[in-house]
Amino acid sequence: MIDFRSLMQPHRIVMMLVFAGIVVWCAFSLQWGWIPKYTPLALQGIWTSIWLLVVTVVLGFLLAVPLGLAQAIGPWYLAAPAKVFCTIIRGTPLLLQLWLLYYGLGSLFPQFPWIRSSELWPYLRQAWPYAVLALTLSYAGYEGEVMRGAFKGVAKGQLEAAKSFGMPRLTMFRRIWLPQAIRNVLPTLGGETILQMKATPLVATITVVDIYAVSSRVRSDTFIIYEPLLLLAVFYILIAGLIALAFHWLEVQVLGTGKRAG
Amino acid sequence: MTGLLDSLGLAQSAELLSLSPPGWGGNLLRGLSHSLQIAFGAYALGLVIGLFGAYGKLYGGKVTRDLLAIYTTVIRAVPELVLILILYYVGSDIINKISSSMGGGRVEINGVAAGIWVLGIVQGAYATEILRGAIQAVPPGQIEAAKSFGMPAFMTMRRVTIPAMMSFAVPGLANLWLIATKDTALLAVVGFNELTLETRQAASSTRAYFTFFLAAGFLYLMVTLCSGVIFTRIEKWARRGQPSLTGGRT
């Protein structure tokens, strides 16, 4: 992927040396003494961030498939609600959705005694179910729109061929329509997953302790501003790189070629 | 009107949202106007950065190109929330250093200006990529023709490149504007009193969370939908004279 020879141009070597110099300067002249104390918390935060990302992407995508399908071929009474849902999700800030769910539902639920006495109550009192719900709905909203285009983009002849062989509709969907649609949107999905990763730190505003919340805590405990933020940025860049690599690998597996999306 | 609201059980919500002081409607609208100011400013700043960035990426030297690649990659890989914090602290540090070197004290930073600076830099990275793609989509012959007539670089940009690339850039730029309006909500986390923060303050002091968050959602949605209408017009205008993509012969 990265051509080694292209890195060996003179100006790039100079830039890399400058960069290495900056890293060394950071390592020696900034304060890193807080790291050992916060490592366990940071590891937990990293775990929470990644867990949230994976769970919401998977659930969101599962929700996006019916949303896209409803908009692509559904009758109007399914297509219209799906379209309204996608428009609302895409038209309002995620932070607002998150706060609406957490503060709104969170203040509504305790008014009903049967919810308080139900098995779910211990979970509903925590913040993470609301975080998962908001992030899932958000991903589903954006992906529903993407999947609509993908379902429409599958060549008609393929579906007609399947039909002419007498393939049942569900099999046709499972074997031909869905795989082709997913194939077409894999590059888009990679980009959207990185966007979702960039949305996860918002959950810190509803008291979920992800890696962003840990860095905020370091900042407010020690009054060290830049060091935790720099580390945090590096962490997110690494995760974004990993997601890009993973989707690249997936594209190679699925498409057979490493077609890079711009 | 009041009878209708009463019968729907919405009288209380209407009272909370009324524009005069017992209601919080005025606060929400003030927040909305702050949000829109920040979004406009950041979008404009982002477009300027994006135009220079795109030209730098396409026609700049090796070092410029690599530096711009780092800028766009890093900005697009780090969450906006983290960037906002970093840029906010960097910006206020720089301004305070300048002010203290000139013998002044600590400077209170205007929330709108800080929001524009922070979001503008984020928008600039996305705008760079959109405009670069759009400029690349312009048939090179057109730009070469302008050059061959001895048109100066700036005039070529103004008269040929920008009008020709508009139709390619408008869909991406429309998306970017929507991102700008929604990203202003993130500034609530650093305490700017834009729409989302005003909403939260109103909601937590009246305990009417649903009323206020839904009202704010409605305002954001209106902004999005109106922008959609306007950008459809702009796209139509930018495409004038071009064969349509869907209606043409295939």
Does A233 reach chain B within 8 Å, measured CB to CB? Answer: yes
> CA A237, A240, A245: angle at the middle one, nearest 5?
125
Q: Count of residues for chain B? A: 250
Q: Do A103 and B220 touch (CB under 8 A)?
A: no
ipTM of the complex: 0.83
C-alpha B157 chain-centroid distance: 23
Reported as a single tens digit per residue, the pLDDT across A33-54 is: 788 888 888 899 999 999 999 9
Q: Is B225 in Cβ contact with A205 (below 8 Å)?
A: no
CATH dotted code for B24-238: 1.10.3720.10
pTM of the predicted model over 0.80: yes
Best residue of B57, B66, B78 to probe chain A, by most A CBs closer than 10 Å: B78
Structure confidence at residue B244 (pLDDT)? 60
In whole angstroms, give the CA distance from residue B175 to residue B181.
10
Provide the token pair at A177.
């329509």
Judged against a pLDDT cut of 80, whether residue B241 lies above it is answered with no
* CATH code for residues A33-255: 1.10.3720.10
The answer to whether B99 and B107 have CB atoms below 8 angstroms apart is yes
User: Is pLDDT larger for residue B78 or for residue A116?
Assistant: B78
Structure tokens that stand for B11 in this block: 């009288």
A-chain CB neighbours of B186 within 8 Å are 93, 95, 202
| pLDDT surpassing 50 at residue A112 | yes
List residues of B whose CB lies inside 8 A of any A CB: 62-63, 66-67, 74, 76-83, 85-86, 89, 133, 178, 182-186, 188-189, 196, 199-200, 203-204, 207, 209-210, 213-214, 216-217, 220-221, 224-225
**A14-25 tens-digit pLDDT:** 888 888 888 888
* Interface residue A174 vs chain B (CB under 8 A): no
Domains of chain B, by residue range, sit at 24-238
Please list, in sequence order, all residues whose beta carbon lies within 8 angstroms of the beta carbon of residue B69, skipping any fewer than 6 positions away: B57
Examine the pLDDT at A260 and tell me if it is beyond 70: no
Calculate the alpha carbon distances from A80 to A67, A70, A73, A145, B39 in Å.
Answer: 10, 8, 11, 13, 30
pLDDT exceeds 90 at position B39: yes
Closest by CA position to A86, among listed A76, A74, A71, A104: A71
Asked whether the beta carbons of A71 and A148 are under 8 A apart, the reply is yes
Q: Provide, rounded to the nearest whole percent, the portion of chain A with pLDDT above 90.
A: 32
Give the confidence band of B249 by pLDDT, cuts at 50, 70, 90.
Answer: very low
The whole-number pLDDT of residue B250 equals 40
**Which amino acid is present at A221?**
D
How large is the C-alpha radius of gyration of chain A?
23
**Residue to substitute from A52, A53, A96, A152, interface B, most B β-carbons within 10 A:** A96
A176 C-beta neighbours (distance < 10 Å), count: 17
Structural domain boundaries in chain A: 33-255
Instruction: Inspect the interface and report whether the beta carbons of A12 and B217 lie closer than 8 Å.
Output: no
Higher pLDDT, B13 or B110: B110
Residue of B68, B73, B81, B197 to mutate, testing the A interface (most A Cβ within 10 Å of its Cβ): B81
* Joined tokens for residue B151: 């048109």
